């Protein structure tokens, strides 16, 4: 299978074309071995006491500095700003997911909101939840809890057929992303995807960050805690969407987070 692999850092014209065409790309070697280990250990702490089922824990960046550092990772944040063509983005959610040892393939879905289907917004489904997924365990072969995506499906005018979804069926055009730990997968909310089976004896962890326009509501927290805002960096405070607003809502203008050049 072809792999839509791009270099870290600034979004190039080719990166944009790849993303527009496939709905996702992969950035290898974003995290070094020390970073992988510390984020993996942090993830294990977040999930301590788990019961051997698939689960996700939000908001771990407030408790775990190694996860907090990923909020504005320099290999990835320029891609996020470039894909949105805006500096006014927030972290809508940060989900640390665990797929248990010998976990089964998950259900096909598009990301969005169960409260309001993004499909109702029009065609093509807009980019509202740009997901950056850091692989924390090896996924170089199928059957390692990989993400499986259907390239280009963010532009499909029709949903994935009901029977494919209910039967958890394969499709001939789906792509099981194979990449080592430390890689980042960046994908559009409208790409049909699922967690592929995990046949190994250990739990699989992936750290997902969802970047959104600033008017989206948080999905992994009700609000940012004051203590976190007080101690984190200005850029990360901006990415929390907690900006001093000069007037009601956005009427007084939006304060762009102080991004580094
Ligand atoms: O397996 C995962 O980590 C991600 C699952 C998924 O597809 C999602 O959270 O939208």
Across the chain, which distance is largest between two alpha carbons, in Å? 54
The predicted-structure confidence for 187-199, as pLDDT tens digits, reads as follows: 999 999 999 999 9
| 247: in domain | no
| 235: in domain | no
| 22: in domain | yes
**92 Cβ closer than 6 Å to some ligand 1 atom:** no
What is the 8-class DSSP label of residue 251? T
Instruction: Report how far residue 184's alpha carbon sits from residue 207's, in angstroms, rounded to the nearest whole number.
Output: 9
Q: Are 36 and 42 in contact (CB under 8 A)?
A: no
Residue closest via CA to ligand 1's atom 3 equals 97
| 250: in domain | no
| 40: in domain | yes
> Taking the CA of residue 34 as centre, how many other CA atoms within 13 Å lie in the half-sphere pointing to its CB?
0
| 240: in domain | no
Instruction: Report how far residue 77's alpha carbon sits from residue 85's, in angstroms, rounded to the nearest whole number.
Output: 12
The predicted-structure confidence for 219-241, as pLDDT tens digits, reads as follows: 999 999 999 999 999 999 999 98
What is the 8-class DSSP label of residue 44? H
Number of domains in the chain: 1
Query: Taking residues 163-173, what's their average pLDDT?
Result: 96
The yes-or-no verdict on residue 159 having pLDDT over 70 is: yes
**97 Cβ closer than 6 Å to some ligand 1 atom:** yes
Measured in Å, residue 258 CA sits from the centre of ligand 1 at 31
Instruction: Report how far residue 151's alpha carbon sits from residue 118's, in angstroms, rounded to the nearest whole number.
Output: 19
Angstrom distances, CA of residue 98 to CA of 54, 55, 87 = 6, 5, 31
Q: Are 72 and 235 in contact (CB under 8 A)?
A: yes
- The torsion angle over the Cα atoms of residues 216, 249, 57 and 135, rounded to 10 degrees, is 60
CATH of residue 181's domain is 2.60.120.620
| 257: in domain | no
The parent domain of residue 62 ranges over 13-213
If one counts every other C-beta atom within 10 angstroms of the C-beta of residue 5, the result is: 12
Q: Are 72 and 239 in contact (CB under 8 A)?
A: yes
Query: Taking residues 124-128, what's their average pLDDT?
Result: 98
pLDDT of residue 246: 47
Q: Which atom of ligand 1 is nearest to the CA of 131?
A: 10
End-to-end, the C-alpha distance of the chain in Å comes to 36
């Amino acid at each position: 299978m072809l792999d839509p692999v791009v270099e870290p850092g600034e979004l190039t014209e080719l990166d944009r074309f790849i993303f527009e065409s496939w709905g996702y790309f992969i950035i290898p070697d974003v995290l070094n071995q020390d970073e992988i280990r510390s984020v993996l250990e942090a993830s294990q702490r977040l999930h301590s006491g788990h019961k051997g089922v698939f689960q996700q824990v939000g908001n771990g960046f407030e408790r775990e500095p190694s996860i907090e550092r990923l909020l504005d990772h320099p290999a990835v944040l320029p891609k996020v700003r470039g894909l949105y063509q805006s500096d006014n983005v927030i972290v809508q959610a940060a989900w640390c997911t665990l797929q248990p040892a010998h976990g089964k393939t998950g259900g096909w879905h598009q990301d969005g909101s169960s409260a309001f289907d993004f499909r109702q917004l029009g065609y093509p489904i807009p980019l509202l939840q740009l997901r950056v997924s850091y692989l924390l365990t090896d996924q170089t072969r199928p059957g390692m809890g990989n993400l499986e995506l259907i390239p280009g499906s963010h532009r499909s005018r029709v949903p994935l057929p009901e029977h494919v979804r209910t039967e958890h069926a394969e499709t001939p055009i789906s792509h099981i992303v194979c990449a080592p730990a430390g890689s980042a997968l960046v994908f559009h909310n409208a790409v049909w995807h699922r967690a592929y089976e995990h046949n190994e004896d250990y739990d699989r962890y992936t750290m997902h960050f969802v970047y959104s326009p600033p008017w989206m509501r948080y999905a992994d927290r009700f609000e940012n805690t004051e203590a976190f805002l007080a101690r984190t960096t200005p850029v990360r405070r901006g990415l929390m969407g907690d900006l001093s607003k000069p007037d009601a809502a956005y009427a007084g203008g939006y304060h762009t987070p102080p991004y580094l050049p």
